[in-house]
Structures are given as structure tokens and as C-alpha cells.
Amino acid sequence: MIEKVSIDGFKNLKKNEIRKFSPKINLLIGSNGSGKSNFLDSISLFKEIVIRNSLSSIMERGGEDIANKENRSIKFSIQMGIQWEYKNQVRISNLLYSSSYQVLGTTPFFYNEHLSEAQSKPFKYLVRDGNKCMVKFKSGKKIVKLDPHKSFFEQTERIINQLYLTEKQFPLFLRQFERIKQEVERWKHFRNSYVSLADLRRPQKATGRNESLLEDFSNFGDVMLKIGTDPQFLSKIKKILKKDIRFEIRMEGTYIIIQPIVYNRKFSSLNALSDGEMRIILLLLMLLSKNGNQQKGVLLIDEPELNLHPSWLLQLRNEFLESDNQIFISTHSAELLDVFTEDFINKRISIFVFENGKMEELKMTPSLKMEIENGYELGDLYRMGDPVIGGWK
């Protein structure tokens, strides 16, 4: 779970620090170009820095274009609560990772990094200054040399090799890095506007990955093969769409064939379903994982309202709230805000307003409370551009 984010200089985002997010649902609202999608992308970049290659991740985003033109450097920190089982007990660890780096061309230069974990036994923290890193142990400190163009996570082995850890310390030290990677790997960023529904309607090439939907939707067929006929999944579809839809799914060679059955009539392909119906299926797959059960993780979802009828949003809201995931939703939908009004009043969700690269949490001010008591829902105020909910132009 993400508990705290501090960011300064990523794309159009200015200095922002949010000290508390909802463990359930966080709605991001604001005008086009205000920074909502960039905020989600900054979290995706953090994930990629942890689990793969910093240089590749930055190049894919345009190199130095990701840095705010005012200072051409990025400062980013994120605090997470990592949950894991230890001797049949569930423990929470507060991980704090922060980094400051400059992008020159396509190359990142890490001039500061800090990594600490409250439950950590082998070390208390790692602090980096350019190409030097100080590792603080209970017994003392050690200095190791680093590649300034790579993050801690890309040179774990290098750090370990220079520390001359004891046989007992080595697995403990390595396990902390692996635990962080495993946690962050469960974060998913789904950009709904990027998916090609036409491609998904065709026979799907099997990938062998069926535990949860991938961010690029490339294993859509595999996940459908696993849970597409599950009664729980079909019940959710029927509840939202108010329509009896089932599927016949089979393998033909290396391809997965998905045929919808609508009111007992079988169709040859998913072309029988509307764009909105396809979007609902995708959204449900985002929330489901192994054996159709919900997985604890972080979901970043851009514009889930695309192609959806407003009447479907109330039931979709229920699915979001029932999920064990922490969910960040970037939206322009007044209808979606309407269905979350009661949840906002009862503090079940959080809402963050973006304007000109700045983000602020929406609070229940006296003015907003008065508007709601007068019968307005959040979506009504959003449509009117009322200052109590942002008032952007």
C-alpha cells in the first residue's frame, strides 16, 4: 500500500507532498493537462526503477522531457506499508524510498537516494551521495561505491559484494530487496485509452501467463481462459450489465477462442459485445487474479468510465470498494463522482484535485458541506466548475 508520496519536477508536476492516501480508493480529478495522468505515471516510473532498468524506463518516456523544464531535475520519494506473513503472523513494514536525480539527454544521474525499512534487521538504512553509499548497520557504518547512473535496486549485487556480509547477514540483506521488488511488482497501471478493443476481439495468442491481467492487456485471452467461465465472474458481469452473458472458451492450436453466449445464443466472436461491455469485462479482470480471488496490490486506472453507460457506474463503484486493492483512479466523469458522494462524506475514499501541476486533497469544508446539504452531489459541483471542488477553468 502507498502511504505517502512526495514529488517535485516530474513532467508538469510541481512540488507536491501527500502524507496520507486512502487504503481503498483515491479519485484524481482536474482539467486536461493538470497532472493527473503524470502523477500515475510517476508511480509507474518508480515501479520500473525498482524492478527493471532506470535508463530504459526514462528513454521510453522521452529522456530529459520527463523533467520539469524549470529545474530539469526530479525529486521523488514514496512510503509504503509492506505486508507479509512471518511465522503465521502478518506484519507491516514501513518502507521509505526517496531519490533525487537529473536527466541529461536520456541518462539519469542519481545524486541522492535513501532506503530504510522499520522491520529491517540486517541494516537500518542506505544513504547515497552521488557514487557513494553509506550503509548503516546496528554495529556501525560501511561505505560502498555505486554507479551514479543506476538506482540501488539495479546494483543490489554490487552493494552486497562490497559489504562483505557474514553468512547470516547475506540472505537477510538480500531478502529485504526481494521483498520490496515483490511488493512493487504487484502494482498495475492500466491505461484504458491505450487498449485496442478490436485486437482483443480477435483470437488471442496464448502467453502462458494467467494469474492476473498484465498492464498491456497482452494476456487477456489467458486470464479469460482461466476465469471466464467462473460463476462468480459471470455473476459480476450480469449484475452490472443486467444481461445474461456467458462464454465458451477453448484452445485451437496456440490460440484462445472466446465465444460469447448472450441469452443462450452463441456468437462466433467477441464482436457481438459492445465497446462498453468489453470495457466492463476488462475492469473486472483488473480487479481479479488467482482463482478469481482478489489480490492485495495497487491499481492505477486511467479513465475507467470510457464507453460506459452512467447506470453501470454505481455497480462498478461497489466492485471497486469490495476489492482488496488500493486503487488510484484518474477520471473526468461527473457521474462517477456522483456515485462516490456518500463514500466521500463517510470518509471511505479520498479525492485529490489537480490544477497546474499541483495536487491537494479535497476536504469537507463548510462551503462544500453546505452545497451537499442543499442537495448537490460531487458530480453536480464538478460539472458547474464550483470553486468548492476545484473551480478550474
Beta bridge partners of 27: 329, 351
Backbone torsions φ then ψ of 257, nearest 5 degrees: -100, 125
The reported pLDDT for the residue numbered 91 is 57
- Could you tell me which residue, 94 or 350, shows the higher pLDDT? 350
Residues 247, 259: contact at Cβ < 8 Å?
Answer: yes
Backbone torsions φ then ψ of 371, nearest 5 degrees: -60, -40
> What is the secondary structure of 145-201 as a DSSP string?
E--TTS-GGGGHHHHHHHHT--TTHHHHHHHHHHHHHHHHHT-EEEEGGG--HHHHH
Backbone torsions φ then ψ of 67, nearest 5 degrees: -85, 140
The reported pLDDT for the residue numbered 207 is 95
Backbone torsions φ then ψ of 171, nearest 5 degrees: -65, -30
- Spatial CB neighbours of 13, under 8 Å, sequence gap ≥ 6: 7, 35, 38, 39, 42, 68, 357, 359
Residues 352, 360: contact at Cβ < 8 Å?
Answer: yes
Task: Look at strands 125-129 and 132-137 and give their pairing.
Answer: antiparallel
- Could you tell me which residue, 319 or 85, shows the higher pLDDT? 319
Q: What is the mean pLDDT of residues 259-278?
A: 97
Does residue 328 have a pLDDT over 60? Answer: yes
Q: What is the mean pLDDT of residues 134-139?
A: 84
Backbone torsions φ then ψ of 117, nearest 5 degrees: -145, 125
Every domain of the chain and the residues it spans = 195-295
Does residue 78 have a pLDDT over 80? Answer: no
Does residue 111 have a pLDDT over 60? Answer: yes
Q: 169-185 vs 156-163: helix axis angle to the nearest 10? A: 170
Reported pTM: 0.91
| Separation CA 211–CA 208 (nearest Å) | 9
| Separation CA 241–CA 338 (nearest Å) | 19
Does residue 292 have a pLDDT over 80? Answer: no
Percent of the chain with pLDDT over 90: 53
Residue with cell 494469474: 211
Q: Of 32, 122, 78, which Cα lies nearest the Cα of 303?
A: 32
Does residue 393 have a pLDDT over 80? Answer: no
CB atoms within 10 A of CB 197: 19
